[in-house]
Amino acid sequence: MIDMVIVKAMKALLGTQSKENILVYLLARTSGAATDIAVFFDAPLNPVQKQLKALEAGGLLSSQKVGVRREYRFADDNPLIEPTQALAKVALQSYPDALKTRLFVYRSRPRTPGKALNYVNS
């Protein structure tokens, strides 16, 4: 029951699912590219790109080119970052445990064969 209240309130505050996905992803992983976020949430790329640009134009996110990719992260100099991250934490609490685990487990390179998988909570 309370999860539905949270979901409705988050949709009212954020406006779109893409924006919520972006904020939660960046909260969990600290940075990410539009493609990474869209693939993770199995969402179309175009709305994610538009929301990233809007959040950057609003001063909540900053970006930089890393190779051919544009990596986004929360802007350090905006006083609204802490409340925004708190809002993303509330949204994250309503996510299923399996999705939370996938968000916080991130490997950028292959694991050595036979090596145990260690879950890291960032």
Query: What is the per-residue pLDDT across 81-107, written as a single tens digit (0 to 9) for each?
Result: 898 888 888 888 888 888 888 888 766
How do residues 46-84 score in pLDDT, each as one tens digit?
Answer: 999 999 999 999 899 999 999 899 999 999 888 888 988
Whole domain around residue 90: which residue ranges?
A: 2-104
Coil, strand or helix at 71: strand
pTM: 0.78
Residue written as tokens 């779109």? 16
Residue 116 lies in a domain: no
Residue 110 lies in a domain: no
Please state the separation of Cα 75 from the chain's center in Å. Answer: 14
Residue 33 lies in a domain: yes
DSSP tag of 2: H
Which CATH number is 7's domain given? 1.10.10.10
